[in-house]
Amino acid sequence: MTKIAVAKGDGIGPEIMDAVLGIFDAAKVELEYEVVEMGKWVFDKGYSNGMTPEAQESIESLGILFKGPMETPKGKGVKSVNVTARKTWNTYANKRTFQTLHGVDTVFSKAGIPIDITIVRENIEDTYGGIEHMLTHDVALGRRFITRPGSMQVIKYAFEMAKKKGCRRITCGHKANIMKITDGLFLEVFYEVAKEYPELNADDVIVDDLCMKLVSRPDLFDVVVLTNLQGDIVSDLCAGLVGGLGFAPSANVGDHISIFEAVHGTAPDIAGKNIANPTSLLLSGIGMLQHLGMTETSAMIENALLYTLESGVHTGDFGDKSIPSINTSEFSASIIKNFGKLPAHNPRPIIANHYVTPTHFKLEKNPMIESLEMQQEEIVGVDIIIECNEQPNDVAAKALKHTMDLFKLVTISNRGTQVWPKGSVFTNLVNSYFCRFESIGDVPVTQTDILELYKRMTKDYKVSSIELLNMWGGKKAYTLAQGQ
């Protein structure tokens, strides 16, 4: 008997979790549950990460967390418990599958266009690091991390999953035309991994074009892998294609711990009324059973769900309004009643269970994921970010005094747009300038040289931040300003 951690969640979480576990019990799912304390009420008890130490210990020991929707208190300066859980346990791949469900009417189902899209979203990095600073009282800066090892983890997972699923196509969604280094790195890793899977048609699409194509021809896509923020947005877009977040399962997969959850809200306005739709959490639970090798059991439950939906049975949030809706308990009872029945459309194949016992890891230290540095690194300059409300020519006149015969002032930009040595008076300015100093002749400089330049600049300005300008193998590892 496999034991997993269960966090029932906030709002409607407990009632939909009870409904799903009731379906599992009726199906004789061979699972044992350890209920753990996570969610808003745990924040309210004074735990700033939204979980008790005992909950964290249990989840890390068991390796599987099945969780309901959770709320993060607003205005208390605490981080989302959902994001914290994914990042703490390095569940680097968020897999969300979106399929046409007969009985859930959408524009595409009415048009006879089938949808079967899997979005794989990087789950740890990007702007979800939540690293932000106020550079001035007017200017906020957020840091965006994209790493080669982190990208490799999620992209490798996406290709392996696509291969096992028998997909014909895998697509990388990105914005590398604008974010040339961060998204550029993600795209570069995508094509590195693609070489190992010649049987898959690997291509890439700029994310805004991807969104347009998804809402016009979603049937063209199989698997799409994206960075964290873009993947968050695109996965919710795809949920809208199949009926909404109430029909969107979610799996967060890592090397040591995996989380299966409903991604919709806690719906506090209907909590306790026994009218919530448990489909999203049930689909996530079905994915968990498949992850644990309970393929026969999961297929029986999923076929019963699909048969129930095809029969017109529905909760109040969807379905044929000429057919009376039923409550949460009645909906789960209908699914149980339909065990053994097959839907008319896309029945799930019955494959014998091949139980997978979660490996329980006892780690002594944090894993370090790092690729081999293949080329020589050199520092060839620095961006010094200053707080200033002067005109660009005045800033340049002062900055040029501090170049120390080691540096040349190359450009000054404001909100990413060059304003010196050339620019336009029609460019609106804020009180934060990036002054870029490069070494003369791209000759390497030391951090001590950078610190001396920093110290000199502080004679005229408050320095808000600095960024080193690095090169690897003679290739610049920084972008130009707009218009440079």
Whether residue 435 is contained in a domain is answered as yes
Burial class (CB in 10 A: 0-12, 13-18, 19+), 427: middle
pLDDT score for 78: 74
Whether residue 390 is contained in a domain is answered as yes
The Cβ-side half-sphere exposure at 351, using a 13 Å CA radius, reads 10
DSSP symbol at 442: G
- Distance in angstroms (rounded) separating the CA atoms of residues 215 and 232: 16
pLDDT score for 69: 95
Domain, as residue range, for 461: 377-476
Whether residue 168 is contained in a domain is answered as no
pLDDT score for 244: 95
Whether residue 116 is contained in a domain is answered as no
Whether residue 358 is contained in a domain is answered as no
**Rounded to an integer, what is the distance from CA 302 to the centroid of its chain?**
26
Whether residue 386 is contained in a domain is answered as yes
Q: Among 181, 83, 75, which Cα is nearest to 131's?
A: 83
Whether residue 456 is contained in a domain is answered as yes
User: Are the CB atoms for 476 and 152 separated by under 8 Å?
Assistant: no
pLDDT score for 224: 98
Q: Among 178, 172, 207, which Cα is nearest to 191's?
A: 172
Q: Among 41, 32, 51, which Cα is nearest to 13's?
A: 41
pLDDT score for 415: 96
Cα–Cα distances (Å) from 288 to 66, 126, 343, in that order, read 8, 26, 21
- The answer to whether the bond into 324 is cis (omega within 30° of 0) is no
- Distance in angstroms (rounded) separating the CA atoms of residues 275 and 273: 6
pLDDT score for 75: 64
Cβ neighbours, 10 Å, residue 459: 9
- Total domains in the fold of the chain: 1
- Which CATH number covers residue 448? 3.30.70.1570
Whether residue 382 is contained in a domain is answered as yes
Q: Tens-of-pLDDT digits for all 484 residues of the chain? A: 899 999 999 999 999 999 999 999 999 999 999 999 999 889 988 888 899 999 999 999 999 999 999 998 776 667 788 888 999 999 999 999 999 999 999 999 999 999 999 999 999 999 988 899 999 999 999 999 999 999 999 999 999 999 999 999 999 999 999 999 999 999 999 999 999 999 999 999 999 999 999 999 999 999 999 999 999 999 999 999 999 999 999 999 999 999 999 999 999 999 999 999 999 999 999 999 999 999 999 999 999 999 999 999 999 999 999 999 999 999 999 999 999 999 999 999 988 888 887 777 788 899 899 998 778 899 999 999 999 999 999 999 999 999 999 999 999 999 999 999 999 999 999 999 999 999 998 889 999 999 999 999 999 999 999 999 999 988 999 998 888 8
pLDDT score for 104: 96
